[in-house]
Structure 1
């Protein structure tokens, strides 16, 4: 809250400073001007000379009708309703990106566990929606509605964004009607919320419950991302000025695949990655904490053929710095099969470069190495208590099951796991596999469904 108030106060000071010596002149001459004049050195912010105010309304108003409310209907945990009518189980926002086809982007967690879906348009129309597909790793989903007179949002390449750009979040938060909030882009290429496919835009525009799936727009009303999550110190999930959005460079890769086939196929290089944390950096004697550790390499894979080894620290992929495993997987995951990649890494304190081509997904079966096991998108290593999960690949079977780096597998189907050999043997079983794991918060069961 303190940070948000400071930014608001700064914005007010900026307006006062800009208008202090020109307000009287502007009021005397602006009555006959058009509603909005282009920004200039005299007015660095858009200025509505007819009303004598600064405003971004002209750039934003055309996009607001494309923002919708999404209600997911399913089986309620409460008393059943008469006639078997599904109850509302969640509500969020969405944005129309293709008016002709009625295509809407929202979050996967908004539509999860739904039976039917309802869309409320800003003009008051209430429509049924069809779920085209969803992707848990990026938390994106695509809906389709049948209607005429729809408005779609214009899109811009998120790679053109810069920290400090103005950003506007639009949605239906906390039971309110369509709401617009303003902030700045406070960070780019954010990751670290896990080892999934992450490369978020960070903003301080107010985002609350109900904003999920709504658009993050630039000052011209163009789509730059989909609001997905917030960091909050409030147990009720209140806004603390830090929100994250999936950038258009990732969402369009996902959306195009969902529209075409209903599912997402990601490129892979055959390396299981873990994030370089401060603890791991100290353990390895490194002088930096940004990067992705190669935990294991699949024999015969692109990573293997390019010479990558267990323990290498990836610092860049193409022209992108590697913040952690999530940011590397985000770049690899949206590269079509056959795409050449240049990877910069460190080994024994020396920097090296590897060139490889992305390939289609490999078999997520069990692959047993000399010091690690890869299975269903997770890498395991021996520890005293059993087998510890070193890393989990975003979008994999292991990720979908909720397996996390740091989990220690102590049993599978009530059979104890005391070694990697035990793990490899038991993971080869058929059907769903129930793993007993220990975590910081206690013991849990995770079901892998190959």
Structure 2
């Protein structure tokens, strides 16, 4: 299976709805389906038509990096769709992968106008980007809270797929809270509304034409990354408006997204891991590691804890936690529910912004230079307790069990002295250790 970005796409075919009354419906029919009495047909057109003028085609242009014949104008390198969420300010939301590597951007309006657009900012972690155009007479969509969605709701995808003009497809919401597809912050809406190459960045609408998500990718049983050899298999994903508005607001305010983290490495609970831990369930996030001095450590979270809820949202896997942490206000407390030794416990964790500090110091450990250090069991000095694979420290040959003697020529007797010496040292840091009676010296970038 390959995850296929819906870039250069739009939508495809017309949907035909057959309505059959069941015995239950006959007893309690509820609200009727939208009906156009003049034409004698069931139709969602009245709600959707208000939003269609806000759906645009986005073209990304860039100059060639290879030999040219003197052409100065940028050439199209990718395209997709977008949707206007603020007509007064000309604000358009699309996907990051639609505008990536672009130098110039143009927007084709549904009324035939071609406008130049300016990139306000982009966020790779959520695959979202914000463009701005200067024009009069723009339309916008109404944005609703995606947390109100339910599996089984009708959903409509709009965009410019496969070289076609604006296209509308219909399906249902197949699932919510999908994650584990490769991006840093994932809480996708899954739908079977047809989404194809060109639909990227276009809106996913509810049956009243209101924005519930931004179409981002599809899962295909065949073909390559752009979907040239694989078609729509009825599995498409959209970024929900809950995440979209967090990102858009920050990009509009500062051109970048400030995102907090709690300092815990998480793994997804699956059947094999559940058997190892002798658990009777397979949904949750396993704490694999906790950074020294991190919010997670200060809240008492430990390796082996299993997070089951965050902010009263059920945790299906590690992505469920990151989907909440990744759009939480920095410094605001998040309530975690977790299991430890069969007991259900709660903790409040306040995400903090990622900092460039090369040293993360906790009460019992220091993480720095791609390694973890702790006080030696005999209380004499500091030992290397772990070295990250693929790090410069590992490449240099530093190993767990090495006893630290000096950093940058300064003797190191404890964790506080080690942390300060690493902070003060110039890169590469000169680290002197003893190993089996032998003194070794390493120069580690960091």
Alignment match, 2:94: 106
Alignment match, 2:434: none
Alignment match, 1:225: 213
Residues 1:347 and 2:340 aligned together: yes
2 CA distance for matches of 1:330 and 1:374? 27
Secondary structure, aligned partner of 1:295 = strand
Q: Would the aligned equivalents of 1:76 and 1:89 in 2 still touch at CA under 8 Å?
A: no
1 CA distance for matches of 2:203 and 2:337? 34
How many angstroms does 1:81 deviate by? Answer: 5.6
Alignment match, 1:252: 245
1 CA distance for matches of 2:369 and 2:317? 21
Structure 1, unpaired ranges of 5+: 1-7, 19-39, 380-385, 389-407, 432-448
Residues 1:56 and 2:44 aligned together: yes
Alignment match of 1:321 (pick from 298, 309, 314): 314
How many angstroms does 1:290 deviate by? Answer: 1.8
1 CA distance for matches of 2:401 and 2:168? 56
Change (3 A) 1:74 1:352: same
How many angstroms does 1:176 deviate by? Answer: 0.8
Residues 1:68 and 2:61 aligned together: no
How many angstroms does 1:193 deviate by? Answer: 1.1
1 CA distance for matches of 2:337 and 2:169? 39
Alignment match of 1:281 (pick from 257, 274, 278): 274
More helix by share: 1
Offset from partner CA, 1:293-335 (integer Å, 9 cap, x none)? 2222233332222211112111110111112222211111211
Change (3 A) 1:375 1:124: farther
How many angstroms does 1:374 deviate by? Answer: 7.4
How many angstroms does 1:189 deviate by? Answer: 0.9
2 CA distance for matches of 1:330 and 1:364? 25
Secondary structure, aligned partner of 1:331 = helix
After superposing the two structures, state which structure 1 stretch, 116-125 or 42-51, moved more.
42-51
Q: Would the aligned equivalents of 1:74 and 1:116 in 2 still touch at CA under 8 Å?
A: yes
Give the greater-gyration-radius structure (CA). Answer: 2
- The size of the alignment, in residue pairs, is 377
Q: Would the aligned equivalents of 1:296 and 1:372 in 2 still touch at CA under 8 Å?
A: no
Secondary structure, aligned partner of 1:351 = strand
Alignment match, 1:173: 161
Where does 1:342-381 land on structure 2 (aligned, <5 Å)?
342-363=335-356, 365-367=358-360
Where does 1:114-133 land on structure 2 (aligned, <5 Å)?
114-133=102-121
Alignment match, 1:192: 180
Offset from partner CA, 1:98-127 (integer Å, 9 cap, x none)? 001100000000011111111110011111
Change (3 A) 1:158 1:417: farther
**TM-score normalised by the chain length of structure 1:** 0.75
Secondary structure, aligned partner of 2:260 = coil
2 CA distance for matches of 1:262 and 1:17? 51
Alignment match, 1:46: 34
Secondary structure, aligned partner of 2:239 = strand
Q: Would the aligned equivalents of 1:173 and 1:209 in 2 still touch at CA under 8 Å?
A: yes
Secondary structure, aligned partner of 1:174 = coil
Where does 1:379-418 land on structure 2 (aligned, <5 Å)?
409=390, 412=392, 415=395
Structure 2, unpaired ranges of 5+: 1-12, 23-27, 224-228, 373-385, 408-421, 429-444
2 CA distance for matches of 1:355 and 1:285? 27
Secondary structure, aligned partner of 1:189 = strand
Alignment match of 1:183 (pick from 166, 171, 178): 171
Q: Would the aligned equivalents of 1:195 and 1:326 in 2 still touch at CA under 8 Å?
A: no
Change (3 A) 1:112 1:419: farther
Secondary structure, aligned partner of 1:231 = strand
Change (3 A) 1:416 1:350: same
Secondary structure, aligned partner of 2:258 = coil
Residues 1:302 and 2:295 aligned together: yes
**TM-score normalised by the chain length of structure 2:** 0.76
Q: Would the aligned equivalents of 2:291 and 2:367 in 1 still touch at CA under 8 Å?
A: no
Secondary structure, aligned partner of 2:60 = strand
Change (3 A) 1:281 1:67: same
How many angstroms does 1:246 deviate by? Answer: 0.5
Which of the pair has the greater relative contact order for Cα pairs under 8 Å at 6+ separation?
2
2 CA distance for matches of 1:110 and 1:421? 48
